[in-house]
Amino acid sequence: MTNGTVTNGTVTTAAPAPAKKSGGIRDLGKMFGGGQSTLRQFGILIALIVIIVVFQILTDGRTLQPGNVINILNGNTYVLILAIGMVMVIIAGHIDLSVGSVAAFTGIVVAIALNRWQWPVPAAILLGLVVGLVIGAWQGWWVAYVGVPAFIVTLAGMLIFRGANQFVGNSTTEPVPDAFTWLGGGYIPDFGGGPFSNGTLVLGGIVALALIVQEVLLRRRQKRIGAERAPVWVSALKLVLLVAVVVAATLLFASGRPGTSFPIPGIIVAVLVIVYSFVTGNTVIGRHIYAVGGNWHAAELSGVKIKRVNFFVMMNMSLLAALAGMVFVSRSIASGPGDGQGWELDAIAAVFIGGAAVSGGIGTVIGSIVGALIIAVLNNGLQLLGVSSDRVQIIKGFVLLIAVGIDVLSKRSGGRSLIARFRRPGGDLGPEPSPATAAIINRPDIAPGASGAEASSRPPSTTPN
């Protein structure tokens, strides 16, 4: 009786949205793939650009000096790497508080392998990744198959692996050999001479070429399959913009002081971003992560193996935490007992500034990277201006609150973004709880698996009739 024709929200008055004409602004929207998350991501990207410009002015141009840019990149590699894993965890509706401790533990193990056991660098790196995988499998098992909420599992992990780091390393600092430091502080090889780093120029050229080839291939594929294509001028404009950014960045990194070129950590982050953007956006497992976070009931009834998805995201997070730990140890030429403290919070903040929803189902790798860069530039810029660290923290706190606050407010009106809200007042959605305000207990990490591996029961809220 509570069903039927009266169910509020299932019947909406809104007429189908007027057909959008092709051309003009609408086509511009296709530049970066169109879709709903585009506006949100543009917003974050614009925020980053504004922040950079503001600091560039306030610091009299010091912000965008090659040395400083390399410094921002290298100094924040760990956040960038962690944000990639964290956004997948958060999309699936979980959280990982253990990343800092896992990174620190991996760091000390790798440092000991290199320093005391004299392992070669590749073997030590492999060891570090295996450590990350094992820890991830451990935490993933608890979350996915036992059904303990990820918050608890990783809170325990935070304590366990922090303690393990200090236990293994005797709470002292373990140095790493020079051969290892390229991972976190090295540069791509250079050759020849001249005012610019030729290695960086070659790299920039390759990237620009790859972008052009990719766009051409995409258009060719779209044509073959008969899909709708953006007009040529949009593609061209997109390419011109992207290539301009690449050229500017190339010249920036290539014009640093002699001996520097594009940093290795930058390469690591770039590769991870490409790989994980592809995984989250274009693969079956990626779709399943969004499906579980968005509505795990529906996902389960669509044949998604929820436990596997949860296991994967948790394991993957620890693997990336291990990598972040190694890069950090490499850059600071030693592993210490205090490494990685507070990293989980940096990563989580980056992901939420980057547009992810607390209740899961929403978020992107690129968005989280931009979110991490916003924090990084803010940190760096305020330091350059001589703002003390206490005030820097206060400012960062407000930035996080305001960024997520804008998101929540824009959803409360029923629209997907502030812009949409102004365009169509009132919105045409049913009563949909704002993801960011949805209760944390509704998250899928608690419920599945409570009744054994085979028979899955639905929680009382969805008991039929």
Total site size for other proteins, rule CB under 8 A? 67
Indicate which single residue of 49, 428, 437, 440 sits in contact with other proteins (rule: CB under 8 A). Answer: 428
Q: To the nearest whole angstrom, how small is the minimum distance from the Cβ of residue 20 to other proteins? A: 5
The whole-angstrom separation of Cα 311 and Cα 140 is 4
**Under rule CB under 8 A, residue 465 binds other proteins:** yes
**Under rule CB under 8 A, residue 394 binds other proteins:** no
The whole-angstrom separation of Cα 52 and Cα 423 is 29
Q: To the nearest whole angstrom, how small is the minimum distance from the Cβ of residue 206 to other proteins? A: 23
Which 348-367 residues touch other proteins, going by CB under 8 A?
Answer: 361-362
Indicate which single residue of 270, 287, 406, 408 sits in contact with other proteins (rule: CB under 8 A). Answer: 287
Helix (H) or strand (E) holding 136: helix 121-141
- Please, which residues have CB within 8 angstroms of residue 294's CB and are 6 or more apart in sequence? 360, 361, 362
The whole-angstrom separation of Cα 232 and Cα 376 is 36
Question: Which among 72-80, 218-226, 238-246, 378-386 is the span making contact with other proteins, rule CB under 8 A?
Answer: 218-226
The whole-angstrom separation of Cα 308 and Cα 145 is 9
**Under rule CB under 8 A, residue 17 binds other proteins:** yes
Which 65-94 residues touch other proteins, going by CB under 8 A?
Answer: none
Indicate which single residue of 187, 290, 343, 352 sits in contact with other proteins (rule: CB under 8 A). Answer: 290
Side-chain half-sphere exposure of 458, counting CA atoms within 13 A? 13
Indicate which single residue of 66, 435, 444, 448 sits in contact with other proteins (rule: CB under 8 A). Answer: 435
Q: To the nearest whole angstrom, how small is the minimum distance from the Cβ of residue 314 to other proteins? A: 19
Of the pair 173, 456, the CB lying nearest other proteins is at 456
Indicate which single residue of 24, 282, 386, 439 sits in contact with other proteins (rule: CB under 8 A). Answer: 282
Question: Which among 172-180, 226-234, 344-352, 390-398 is the span making contact with other proteins, rule CB under 8 A?
Answer: 226-234
Indicate which single residue of 174, 190, 300, 346 sits in contact with other proteins (rule: CB under 8 A). Answer: 300
Instruction: Indicate the length of the chain as a whole number.
Output: 465
Question: Which among 149-157, 162-170, 400-408, 455-463 is the span making contact with other proteins, rule CB under 8 A?
Answer: 455-463
**Under rule CB under 8 A, residue 430 binds other proteins:** yes
Take residue 14 and report the two structure tokens written for it: 């809104």
**Under rule CB under 8 A, residue 14 binds other proteins:** yes
The whole-angstrom separation of Cα 262 and Cα 186 is 9
Of the pair 10, 171, the CB lying nearest other proteins is at 10
State the amino acid at position 32 in one-letter form.
F
Of the pair 20, 116, the CB lying nearest other proteins is at 20
Strand-pairing partners, residue 334, are 175
User: Any idea what DSSP says for residue 14?
Assistant: P
**Under rule CB under 8 A, residue 225 binds other proteins:** yes
Question: Which among 129-137, 206-214, 287-295, 380-388 is the span making contact with other proteins, rule CB under 8 A?
Answer: 287-295
Helix (H) or strand (E) holding 134: helix 121-141
**Under rule CB under 8 A, residue 2 binds other proteins:** yes
Which 20-59 residues touch other proteins, going by CB under 8 A?
Answer: 20, 34-36
Nearest to 193 by CA among 204, 201, 184: 201
**Under rule CB under 8 A, residue 295 binds other proteins:** yes
Q: What are phi and psi of 14, to 5 degrees?
A: -60, 130
**Under rule CB under 8 A, residue 231 binds other proteins:** no
Q: Which class for 328: exposed (0-12), middle (13-18), buried (19 or more C-beta within 10 A)?
A: buried
The whole-angstrom separation of Cα 58 and Cα 435 is 37
Residue with token string 């001028």 = 233
8 Å CB contact between 272 and 324: no
Mapping DSSP onto H, E and C, the string for 166-219 reads HHHCCCCCEECCHHHCHHHHCECCCCCCCCCCHHHHHHHHHHHHHHHHHHHHHH
Indicate which single residue of 297, 395, 406, 418 sits in contact with other proteins (rule: CB under 8 A). Answer: 297
Q: To the nearest whole angstrom, how small is the minimum distance from the Cβ of residue 305 to other proteins? A: 7
Q: To the nearest whole angstrom, how small is the minimum distance from the Cβ of residue 24 to other proteins? A: 16
The whole-angstrom separation of Cα 161 and Cα 154 is 10
Site of interaction with other proteins (CB under 8 A): 1-14, 16-20, 34-36, 221-222, 225-228, 282-288, 290-291, 294-295, 297-303, 305, 361-362, 416, 428-430, 432, 435, 451, 454-458, 460-465
